[in-house]
Amino acid sequence: AQRVTQPEKLLSVFKGAPVELKCNYSYSGSPELFWYVQYSRQRLQLLLRHISRESIKGFTADLNKGETSFHLKKPFAQEEDSAMYYCALDAGGTSYGKLTFGQGTILTVHP
């Protein structure tokens, strides 16, 4: 069975500082990895997926199959980045859509 681990429950940084939210996964196949974000009083929404290799709101995430990691990074954090972030894995095949989520990391960006 697959598993997603986000080791940091809380992460605090100051505005303008770099931020990295860690995500490690365990799965023997080739998963699809996602980052979802939940801003205060908003719905949980997709931030980015590894397959798209894009930067959203300045965030990037690289899938490292050797280290089974998918860390989310942003070089200069902004106060509006404060939110709950979830890393998620889709095992694919007949498990499509059955996302396995990590425990979540609450990011707080201080002014």
Partner 1 sequence: NAGVTQTPKFQVLKTGQSMTLQCAQDMNHEYMSWYRQDPGMGLRLIHYSVGAGITDQGEVPNGYNVSRSTTEDFPLRLLSAAPSQTSVYFCASSYLPVTSGKAGELFFGEGSRLTVL
Q: List contacts with partner 1 (CB under 8 A).
A: 4, 6, 9, 32, 34, 36, 43-46, 49, 51, 86, 90, 92, 96-104
Taking the C-alpha atoms of residue 63 and residue 107, their distance in angstroms, rounded to an integer, is: 21
Q: How far is the CB of 10 from partner 1 (least distance, A)?
A: 11
Q: How far is the CB of 64 from partner 1 (least distance, A)?
A: 19
CB of 15 closer than 8 Å to CB of 79? yes
The smaller minimum CB distance to partner 1, of residues 78 and 82, is found at: 82
The smaller minimum CB distance to partner 1, of residues 82 and 92, is found at: 92
Retrieve residue 108's tokens.
């707080």
Instruction: Name the CA dihedral angle for 77, 81, 86, 88, rounded to a multiple of 10 degrees.
Output: -70
